[in-house]
Amino acid sequence: MASQTSFGACRARLALDIKIASCSRRRYSSNSTIVNIPRADVYRFGAATQRSTPVFRDLEWTIKANESWAVVGTGSGEKSTVFDMLMGHLRIHPAPPPPGGLYPFLSTPGTDPQKSVSIVSFAHTRAVGGAFYDYTARYGAVREEDRITLRESMFPEMVQDLKSQTRVKIEEEREVDYKLFEYLVDKMGLAHLLDLPRIALSNGQTRRARILKALLAKPRLLLLDEPLTGLDVQNRATALDVLHELHSANDPHIILGLRMHDPVPQWITHLVIVNEGIVKTGPKDSLREYQARINEQAKAARDEQLVLREQGKPLVELKNVSVTYGPRKVLKNITWTIAQGGRYHLQGSNGSGKTTLLSLLTGDHPQSYTQLGPERHLLLFGSPRSKIATPTLHQKIGVVTPELFDAFPRRAPGMTVWEVVGTGWEGGFVSKGLHGLGADTEMSGDEEVKRRAARVREVITALGPTAWDSDALVSPPASPASSPAAYPAPLDSLSASFAQQRFRDLPVGAQRMVLLMRALIAHPPVVLLDEVWSGMDGRMVRAARRYLRNGGGVKAGQAVVVITHLEDEVPWGEADGVERVRLDDGVLRSVV
Ligand SMILES: Nc1ncnc2c1ncn2[C@@H]1O[C@H](COP(=O)(O)OP(=O)(O)OP(=O)(O)O)[C@@H](O)[C@H]1O
């Protein structure tokens, strides 16, 4: 039995068993057709075919079982639309012909092919119900309702077996599931995390767990949108290997979603490139030049020069700072100074402690209060955490993190883009009117109102759709959230329309952009940008980098920390004096 044998010894055997079991389930050859769209226009449901503009025109796309496809998009909106189409959320006209329709390989009579197709999208994380939740909960003691472990959330039936150390007789199919579970858990480096509360997992760990969970549900076709974003280099390679292995056995067939500037995995043979509404499909090599051209434009932004100021006085100082959870030390004697004018790139593998470190800098972490002593301190703007009020910290630190993104309030009717940006004046989560000054002051029309209005206009113009060169991602709101007159002129019409849109209705990349605007609006002394590019397309990343680097997005004296696994995503380079630091297993080192 698997439970009595060393896992390492039987891993190869398990892989073989999984494949054998898979082969007995899958009844199609390597030449079977997975997706079939002979030639069609694609519409949103409800759009009249005769009068409406199709989302995609003259789309021709066929996927064979022995091909490996990636959908590459310049916008999360555009790329997601391709996945929406595959999930049956768009109307394909004329409909793909029988037998099988869109999915010939799933044409078993009496079954719904769509039930065998799953999607895991990392470009669409949202808080359940749109309510704000306390994302700082993971930093402290874990509450009862958050106690559910990764293992329990994955595979509840198995937990009892394992806890009681007895194996109940399970069906053949279940046995394969169990083996698949063990095999994948090991391959994806999740084994040591299985009994941790789910809430304690880092972002990268959670991403890998979500992929694993999707695989356990055994879809026949799995769409994975941006599965690699947020994974460190090593975990990216491992995840890709696993996906390649399963895909090669067509168990399941996998279609990847990638951003335009992401490296294309070597085993991908074919691409769908969606660029400004135009879809090109074909072998990877035949589209190489086309993709390179699009990427070159993105790279041009990197060559722009900026003279960075001399570094100034310390804003945040850490000396021998540690964070422990029981016997576990996740940050070990960190000594680091964030100074005025500094540009920092913080790197680190998944689980190395980046998010924990950030939560100390923002004062969200309970242990930010306990870093006291002659040889140890955390000073935020010259004061220990207990001596600086939380609202003051919110004002002094502009933040975009995956946790903030997920937790930001989206409950209907929700704030407009302008209102969300306006919350950045105070760093709060509730709109205090258009200029963050409360209703009474709004009426006065004084200098402060004018200053704030001008700044919001500047940021929305610099980082909004006008700067992305296209209005493809932004459609005017069906019913404007408020009267356009409420927005002080002048804003170009595209920016004005964007300003009135409901934040919650925007594609994920645009939402991240709005939260970036919010973080920058008040020119806070410290700006922390963690995985801010995730879900953005190439044009958005370019616009944001340009604005940050030399477009006035941040002033000389502000300090900016960018957390990303990819050097390309940092707006500043060597020549700008960017300081690179790296966390490894809770230890911070300078990268020379
Ligand atoms: N409340 C907690 N209890 C126990 N361990 C925790 C808790 N919160 C975090 N950890 C552990 O601390 C380590 C650091 O987590 P952190 O979220 O800071 O990593 P990270 O570097 O941000 O990773 P990623 O790049 O994946 O987001 C991880 O191993 C995580 O499992």
Q: What is the pLDDT of residues 236-269, one digit of tens each?
A: 888 899 999 999 988 899 999 998 778 899 999 9
Q: State how far the Cα of 422 lies from the Cα of 435, in Å rounded to an integer.
A: 6
Is the pTM above the cut of 0.90? no
Res. 108 pLDDT band, cuts 50 70 90: confident
Calpha distance 206→532 (Å, rounded): 17
Which of 218-232, 266-280, 286-300, 318-332 is modeled with the greatest confidence?
A: 318-332
Tell me how far the alpha carbon of residue 382 lies from the centroid of ligand 1, in angstroms: 27
Q: Please write the tens of the pLDDT for every residue from 334-371.
A: 999 998 888 899 999 888 999 999 999 999 999 999 98
Higher pLDDT, 204 or 273: 273
Ligand 1 lining (C-beta closer than 6 Å): 138, 142, 196, 200-205, 325, 328, 330, 348, 350-356
Q: How close is the Cα of 31 to the center of ligand 1, in Å?
A: 44
Give the model confidence (pLDDT) of 312-323 as tens digits.
Answer: 788 999 999 999
Please tell me the residue having the least CA distance from ligand 1 atom 13: 351
Give the closest residue (by CA) to ligand 1 atom 16.
353
Show Cβ contacts of residue 312 under 8 Å, excluding neighbours closer than 6 positions: 339, 340, 341, 557
Task: Name the DSSP letter for residue 337.
Answer: E
Assembly ipTM: 0.96
Q: For 81-140, give the DSSP string.
A: HHHHHHTT-EEEESPPPTTTTT-GGG--TTS-GGGGEEEEETT----GGG----TTGGGS
Burial class (CB in 10 A: 0-12, 13-18, 19+), 11: middle
Q: Higher confidence at residue 528 or residue 455?
A: 528
Atom of ligand 1 nearest to the CA of 139: 1
What per-residue confidence (pLDDT) applies to 144?
Answer: 56
In terms of DSSP H, where are the helices of 383-526? 390-396, 402-407, 417-422, 438-444, 447-463, 493-500, 508-520
* Rounded mean pLDDT, 580-591: 92
Q: State in Å: Cα 199 to ligand 1 middle.
A: 9
pLDDT band at 193 (very low <50, low <70, confident <90, very high): confident
Average pLDDT over residues 410-430: 86
Ligand 1, atom 24, residue with closest C-alpha: 350
The pLDDT assigned to 530 comes to 93
Start-end of CATH 3.40.50.300 domains in the chain = 25-125+218-301, 304-591
Cα of 190 from ligand 1 centre, angstroms: 13
* Ligand 1 center from residue 563 Cα (angstroms): 15
CA 205–ligand 1 middle distance (angstroms): 9
Q: Is the pLDDT of residue 158 over 70?
A: no
The CATH architecture of the domain made up of 304-591 is 3-Layer(aba) Sandwich (3.40)
Ligand 1 closest atom vs CA 353: 18
Fold of 25-125+218-301: Rossmann fold (3.40.50)
Nearest CA to ligand 1 atom 25: 350
CA distances from 89 to 50, 80, 114, 424 (A): 19, 11, 11, 35
